[in-house]
Structure 1
């Protein structure tokens, strides 16, 4: 059987300084010495052994070899094609890629200086557009952290209407960020950025506190019955075993009944049935309701509804937009019947026209949310009856 590995004898040159970067190697056995010419003298930079990569830096930034690799003992190496690195680097997180290229650029400059070449411009690769994007992403993350610390994230309440009675039964809490220089940053952009890091957890705590404050103010202003406010949970928040305890602590601090806070879990997160089932059981024990959000967005699994006891299903707006077709009406009718059979409330999201609302009412859908019902409002606008 032909081996995938290559062998070098003691003293063999694996590659020499100045060679083109055709590929890298994984050292299976033996030891490799890395050296470079510094001010006319050969200097040993490192000594590599089994399990270590060899020659990957030149492959990553597609630069000539800046050092020589020589076998100190008989060695067995597994070649790694340059395309393998290129594919993985292209698929990597842009921030990780930018950090790697930044470190590599500094290494090249330092190595060039030690070798007597003091022209940094020859050794620092120009930033690619993807690097510029990554650096802007790093900058935006830092600015988001600062905005959170300064309390600059704003809360909006989008009304949810009880269709039969035509009254606002509750609201969904939405967080907004108006950047001092960039203007309004799309929620999808900064929430996705926060979810990529641990930043989503303090943002979740911030939103929870603001929601409790808004509920307390609605009660203080005599809003009866007190509407519920729904807030979305992220996957990182769901990983916290003390999440419900922390939520209950904030509700008690504001003397609020647990049933006025509704938790929303997006459909893509219910694949972890055990964790979600435990959360639902605990919430129901404490009197809190939980909604399955974005139902029908591509992760639909009726098994989730069979095993997870949600109090509410929120139908994705794509179904509402299809209500002008017989197929769309039929599918929404099935969802309405399913929700009724499971004793769940059904909220149709993205309701924008009276015709859509009329079809939903005829089908027996309980609640509607969307621009027809009302746009997201600041608390002051809600209190003023806008």
Structure 2
């Protein structure tokens, strides 16, 4: 009896649900030496990425058994079946204790459609394997394969990206992503008026994954929307707890969303529905628009109008860097402009640096937007912003990103000691 006979029906159920539009949980398999992962002729439900250990592939033509090699960490198994939707062409057996990640059919299709390095990694890995089998015959198992994943930088990059993709899916499924909250200080009122929700993802044994890395990864797949929903759910839950605890006024909390998330069909309605179901007051949720590419202004503007009608305000994030440019301010309406931290950090470096800060503040005020200055780390910076009539400050002087528990206790709202 197949070692995965009991596993396959449940897996097929998850796969069918995914194909009907539901997201399948990432599957990680631990095998003991001699255990069969799948057998020749089994349905090809997914490809497998080896995280640790060795797996041997073998097949039978009815008369003889053929060994096709031993595969190790960083190598993929049976991506060919994912490409042609065929049955398993070989039997995979653990040669030692091993851990593997299931790579979903959906994830592979996304990569194929986008033609990113993952496609090249799969094709090149398949070509290498086929060449090894064809040239080695029965003796192919004796060929060294440990160096294959590292021989091609592009292939290694693709495999690493696919591994991160699977790990991010698992983190979303298991609640492994933490949301922290950095306080935003109302300078004239001399109090913490709100927070920015910041995402933190720690991989066991690998430390923190930079937000820029995993958000970029999520943007390249369908995961950017689930990541946004994940954060929204936690922010709405925290705001509801603060309200129930009697916090008055209720602080606002800003959530970063890319334009891709905003214009995703149904996303705006989901945002509004979450706020209204929770019974939150207008202005409690704020959205910071971030972008790693140029915006498609018309649909973004339509979504912003819909959200604004329901009391949700918008900030243009990281103004002055990257794609957060003047065209955004011209074509879209924002209640807030967030000045990138580089400007506050260097405002005293030269008269030119200070002039740029003053110009950004004057421009934002000229279009009726409040300024939120990021990267405030000293009392001198805060005092200069006060003189320029900047409304809000954010940075280490105000407070570092804190867990939800410290927001609920009020500890995160202390603000600068000598403000």
- Scaled by the length of structure 2, the TM-score of the pair is 0.65
- The alignment partner of 2:376 has SS state of coil
Asked if residue 146 in structure 1 is aligned to residue 183 in structure 2, the reply is no
1:299-314 equivalence runs, <5 A: 299-314=323-338
* CA distances 1:35-83 after superposition (whole Å, capped 9, x unpaired): xxxxxxxxxxxxxxxxxxxxxxxxxxxxxxxxxxxxxxxxxxxxxxxxx
What is the RMSD of the two structures over their aligned residues, measured on CA atoms?
Answer: 2.2
Change (3 A) 1:139 1:351: same
Quick one: which of 113, 130, 139 aligns to 1:107? Answer: 130
Change (3 A) 1:316 1:120: same
Deviation at 1:330, TM superposition (A): 1.2
* Range 376-385 or range 268-277, more displaced: 268-277
Aligned equivalents of 1:267, 1:95: Cα separation in 2: 24
Aligned to 1:339: 364
Aligned to 1:10: none
Aligned to 2:140: 119
Deviation at 1:127, TM superposition (A): 2.4
In structure 1, runs of 5+ residues without a counterpart are 1-91
8 Å Cα contact 1:198-1:236 kept in structure 2 = no
Aligned equivalents of 1:301, 1:191: Cα separation in 2: 20
Deviation at 1:213, TM superposition (A): 0.3
Aligned equivalents of 1:333, 1:382: Cα separation in 2: 32
- The alignment partner of 1:230 has SS state of strand
Asked if residue 377 in structure 1 is aligned to residue 402 in structure 2, the reply is yes
Aligned to 1:367: 392
Aligned equivalents of 2:162, 2:363: Cα separation in 1: 45
Aligned to 1:356: 381
Aligned equivalents of 1:191, 1:267: Cα separation in 2: 11
Deviation at 1:123, TM superposition (A): 9.7
Deviation at 1:361, TM superposition (A): 1.0
8 Å Cα contact 2:317-2:324 kept in structure 1 = no
In our comparison, the structure showing a higher alpha carbon Rg is 1
- The alignment partner of 1:233 has SS state of strand
8 Å Cα contact 2:258-2:291 kept in structure 1 = no
Q: How many residues align?
A: 293
Aligned to 2:160: 136
8 Å Cα contact 2:316-2:324 kept in structure 1 = no
8 Å Cα contact 1:108-1:123 kept in structure 2 = no
Change (3 A) 1:237 1:198: same
Deviation at 1:220, TM superposition (A): 1.2
- The alignment partner of 1:128 has SS state of helix
Aligned to 1:86: none
- The alignment partner of 1:259 has SS state of coil
8 Å Cα contact 2:283-2:312 kept in structure 1 = yes
- The alignment partner of 2:343 has SS state of helix
* CA distances 1:167-196 after superposition (whole Å, capped 9, x unpaired): 111100011122222232222222222222
Aligned equivalents of 1:317, 1:148: Cα separation in 2: 29
Aligned equivalents of 2:248, 2:347: Cα separation in 1: 34
8 Å Cα contact 1:267-1:294 kept in structure 2 = no
8 Å Cα contact 1:109-1:123 kept in structure 2 = no
Change (3 A) 1:271 1:159: same
1:216-255 equivalence runs, <5 A: 216-255=240-279
Aligned equivalents of 1:267, 1:296: Cα separation in 2: 13
In structure 2, runs of 5+ residues without a counterpart are 1-114, 412-419
Deviation at 1:360, TM superposition (A): 0.9
Change (3 A) 1:122 1:204: same
Aligned equivalents of 2:167, 2:120: Cα separation in 1: 21
Quick one: which of 193, 208, 224 aligns to 1:184? Answer: 208
* CA distances 1:108-144 after superposition (whole Å, capped 9, x unpaired): 234336xx57436669672226234433332222122
